[in-house]
Amino acid sequence: MRVGLEFLRQWYPNKNAKVYVPNPTWPTHVGISNKAGFEVERYRYYDGAKKGFDLNGMLEDLEKADNESIIIFHVCAHNPTGCDPTQAEWQQILDVVKRKNHFSAFDSAYQGFASGDLETDAYSLRLFSQQTDRICLFQSFAKNFGPYGERAGCVSFLTADATETAKVQSRVKQIARPMYSNPPIHGARIVDIILGDD
């Protein structure tokens, strides 16, 4: 996430964009966003009185946000509430995101833990990626593969073509290199072995 947000800080066309996070969210979302130089705002997500997801509050806040804001979403198993939008609600959220030309930054740390099915838990991400190219994914394998101390994960950006992919990859490497030089390798190898085995 730190690498991805730094990339957006340097290359996102709207230099005045704020990062919007759900209220509540994983506390480090705010710290990482601030460290990358972004001002952070919160959008309503959880209604404590109803003890459930606040769709109307979220939609209102995303609608009020400046155009081309960066919105952080949890793909599934929202941390800390555990409440996720339904498939129909995700479509309503996507409609506002597209209308406001927001950039969607998905955090996936618990794929497989919400429903028990990897495909079901990836629904929101797949829905958005089919309808917009203004999207990235911060993916952690620490929980669902077990290498917590290794911090295996990746950042992915949806690009238009091979030329754009090469540019993005080069710039991401330029950002990552002075941050940590080389990532831990053992966790990544474990994930690679598992994902490479039908």
Catalytic residues: 26, 107, 143
Pairwise CA distance, residues 35 & 132, whole Å: 27
Distance CA 21, CA 74 (A): 9
The two tokens of residue 143 are: 């929980």
145 close to 108: Cβ distance less than 8 angstroms: no
| Alpha carbon 160 to chain centroid, angstroms | 19
- CA dist., res. 175 & res. 161, Å (int): 21
Q: In whole angstroms, how far apart are CA 89 and each of 99, 116, 139, 162?
A: 16, 20, 22, 33
Residues in CB range of 98: below 8 A, 6 or more apart: 131, 132
State how beta strands 70-74 and 19-23 pair. Answer: parallel
